[in-house]
């Protein structure tokens, strides 16, 4: 087994690390608690990323990307996650928020939607969650009723990140033709389409501000459907699997920063004539955090390795999200405890990191949902314990 990253990926990681330190960290104190960075700053950073050859590093080469694969993508996201500018938006200075669904577009759709997003000319969002249907597609109430060469969409989506700035929406709806339910399908709906509107925004414990999207008799050409009728949940699962995997390096990067802050403080803070680092209670906190961080990192790159080899990683994606997100909460919690009262203040990034970490065990599928997926795979016999040997 080879645990060493290829030289080109190590160079990419180191270059991104310098970019984060020089370009993003100086913005942290000003924008860390904002849901987004100003567009003019984003565009400037994107141009710098293009000059440095970073832009769209994770996308395939045939759409103008860097083609670094899942392992390379995780390396970059781990570095980006160390900075609080803003946690949900920082990756968009190096790559567009795109998702795997758009790669299933036909040739005409790719020209109109996929390629402009890949070039950074358009922005999109992913609309799946509903008031009564989060991880359960059976509860989806948004419908797309066939009407000649169109589908008429009605329903509500909630917690849609980036909906306010999206040029088009990737929306999932239960498809109906002649009164028959044909399953969930995915549609591309342009901003400004009559009947499509923003509802309320949601202030979360993290700085993210997702939106409600309202569909009121929105007429969408049948040509705007991605893939086949009823293929939507298959496309959504592909999006969710990749999204859950990406939670891994983001949690690892943030946990790494929290641990480094805790170690630095333990070495310089003295109580009763000794540094905190000499206290066994503190040592055990550091040890537990280091061990859990190492375990999460190993899980992340094992899963990414499977992605790059075209292997099924559905179970690994859920396992990574479950463990890495819960690990992050524990590591940050210990770091705050080690800092004492200072850890609770906004003088340090830990309190923001903690709020952000708490949200991660719910977004992209709750921890409970991930446990259900892993348990179902194990109990059905579809996934044996030797699965992790490959």
Catalytic positions, please? Answer: 364
Reduce the DSSP state of residue 123 to 3 states and report it. coil
Instruction: Return the ∠ at Cα 182 (arms to 187 and 382), rounded to 5°.
Output: 95
How far apart CA 316 and CA 309 sit, in angstroms, is: 14
Of 390, 248, 257, 265, nearest in space to 327 by CA: 248
Whole-number Å distance between alpha carbons of 54 and 19: 10
159: left (phi over 0), alpha (psi -120 to 50) or beta: left
**Whole-angstrom distance, CA of residue 277 vs CA of residue 133:** 48
- Main-chain dihedrals φ then ψ at residue 226, nearest 5 degrees: -90, 125
- As given in the structure block, the two tokens for residue 349 are 């990034």
Structure-block tokens of residue 88: 């949900």
How far does Cα 45 stand from its chain's mean position? Answer: 20
3-state secondary structure of 74: helix
CA distance 278 to 197: 58
| Distance from C-alpha of 349 to C-alpha of 366, rounded to nearest angstrom | 25
Cβ–Cβ under 8 Å, residues 246 and 254: no
- Would you give the distance in Å from CA 202 to the centre of its chain? 18
Residue with tokens 């000794």: 274
Q: How far, in Å, CA of 56 to CA of 59, rounded?
A: 5
Contact 210, 204 (CB under 8 A): yes
Which phi and psi angles does 303 have, rounded to 5°? -65, -45
What are the two backbone dihedrals, phi and then psi, of residue 334, each rounded to the nearest 5 degrees?
A: -65, -40
Q: How do strand 143-147 and strand 150-160 relate by DSSP bridges?
A: antiparallel
């Amino acid at each position: 087994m080879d645990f060493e990253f290829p030289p080109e990926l190590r160079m990419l990681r180191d270059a991104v690390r310098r970019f984060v330190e020089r370009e993003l960290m100086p913005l942290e104190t000003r924008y860390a608690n904002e849901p987004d960075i100003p567009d003019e700053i984003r565009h400037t950073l994107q141009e710098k990323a293009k000059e440095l050859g970073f832009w769209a590093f994770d996308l395939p080469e045939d759409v103008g990307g860097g083609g670094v694969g899942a392992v390379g993508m995780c390396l970059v996201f781990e570095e980006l996650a160390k900075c609080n500018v803003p946690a949900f938006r920082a990756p968009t200075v190096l790559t567009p928020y795109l998702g795997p669904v758009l790669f299933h577009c036909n040739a005409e759709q790719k020209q109109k939607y996929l390629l402009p997003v890949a070039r950074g000319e358009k922005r999109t969002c992913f609309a799946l969650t509903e008031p009564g249907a989060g991880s359960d597609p059976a509860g989806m109430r948004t419908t797309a009723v066939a009407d000649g060469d169109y589908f008429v969409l009605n329903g509500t989506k909630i917690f849609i990140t980036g909906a306010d700035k999206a040029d088009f929406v990737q929306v999932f709806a239960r498809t109906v033709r002649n009164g028959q339910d044909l399953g969930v399908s995915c549609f591309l709906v342009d901003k400004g389409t009559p009947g499509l509107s923003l509802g309320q925004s949601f202030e979360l414990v993290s700085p993210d501000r997702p939106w409600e999207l309202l569909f009121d008799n929105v007429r969408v050409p049948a040509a705007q459907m991605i893939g086949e009728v009823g293929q939507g949940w298959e496309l959504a699962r592909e999006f969710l699997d990749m999204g859950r995997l990406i939670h891994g390096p983001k949690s690892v990067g943030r946990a790494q920063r929290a641990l480094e802050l805790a170690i630095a403080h333990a070495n310089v803070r003295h109580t009763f004539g000794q540094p905190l680092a000499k206290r066994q209670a503190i040592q055990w906190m550091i040890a537990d955090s280091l061990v859990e961080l190492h375990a999460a990192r190993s899980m992340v790159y094992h899963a990414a390795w499977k992605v790059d080899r075209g292997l099924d990683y559905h179970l690994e994606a859920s396992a990574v999200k479950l463990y890495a997100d819960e690990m992050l909460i524990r590591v940050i919690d210990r770091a705050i405890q080690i800092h004492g009262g200072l850890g609770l203040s906004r003088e340090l990034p830990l309190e923001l990191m903690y709020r952000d970490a708490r949200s991660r065990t719910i977004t992209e599928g709750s921890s409970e949902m991930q446990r259900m997926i892993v348990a179902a795979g194990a109990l059905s016999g579809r996934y044996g314990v030797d699965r992790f040997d490959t």
